[in-house]
Amino acid sequence: MHAHRPAVFAALLGLTRAGSAIGDFWVQNDFCARVKGASDEHPVTFKDPVTGKETTHGAAAGRSACLHHCLTYTATQAIVAGAGARALGIRVHPAAAAAALAISFGTHYAADRRVPGKGLLEKIATKTGKGGFYKLADFGINGAFQLDSAWHHGWETVAALVAITKATTR
């Protein structure tokens, strides 16, 4: 396995990255995408695309929507990475897989609770001199989205490194 360790890492990183994109953009529903950053100070109004009914949501609904999204996101990563690893003949140790998915879940939730002025990514961006870029939403660029993506990619790399712990190939 040691000679194949970089290849196993690359495969698992690619699989979790694909699972992440599918979970974030195809599996996440519109309600979660819009409401997951809601707070009592900054409520979010959601208009149901089917009924046209508008509802307003605060912190409890925001936390619930973010939790739902992160659960479906992590489940999607698990399915994609698990199926891909099996197809490639990679055996991931169950504890390492659980730890990697926990890292992905926790860091995703922390980043996606984008409460205006209080969200983790906005705070990090402001403290590192990237606050202006975080708020940029012009010229075809959305700074918050770009920094969010970079955050997720970084943590997915850490999770893939954890996932290869005790991994074997057939």
pLDDT classification of 4: cutoffs 50, 70, 90: confident
| Rg from Cα positions in the chain | 18
Measured CA to CA, the distance from residue 121 to residue 105 in angstroms comes to 16
Whole-number pLDDT of residue 100: 97
Tokens of 153: 């990619």
Whole-number pLDDT of residue 3: 55
Whole-number pLDDT of residue 40: 97
pLDDT digit string, tens, across residues 144-168: 999 999 999 999 999 999 999 988 8
What mean pLDDT is reported for the chain? 94
**Tokens 């995408």 belong to residue:** 33
Q: Say whether pLDDT at 2 is over 60.
A: no
Give bridge partners of residue 54 from the DSSP assignment: 47
More reliable by pLDDT, 51 or 2:
51
Is residue 162 within 8 A of residue 96, CB to CB? The reply is yes
Name 124's Cβ contacts closer than 8 Å, sequence gap at least 6: 130
Q: Which of 15, 159, 5 is nearest to 84 (CA)?
A: 15
pLDDT classification of 111: cutoffs 50, 70, 90: very high
Is residue 28 within 8 A of residue 72, CB to CB? The reply is yes
Whole-number pLDDT of residue 145: 92
Whole-number pLDDT of residue 140: 85
Is residue 139 within 8 A of residue 148, CB to CB? The reply is no
Whole-number pLDDT of residue 109: 97
**Tokens 């001199």 belong to residue:** 129
15, 17, 23, 24: CA torsion to nearest 10: -170
* Beta strands in the chain, from DSSP E residues, in sequence order: 44-47, 54-57, 90-91, 137-138, 141-142, 168-169
Q: Which of 143, 119, 122 is nearest to 133 (CA)?
A: 143
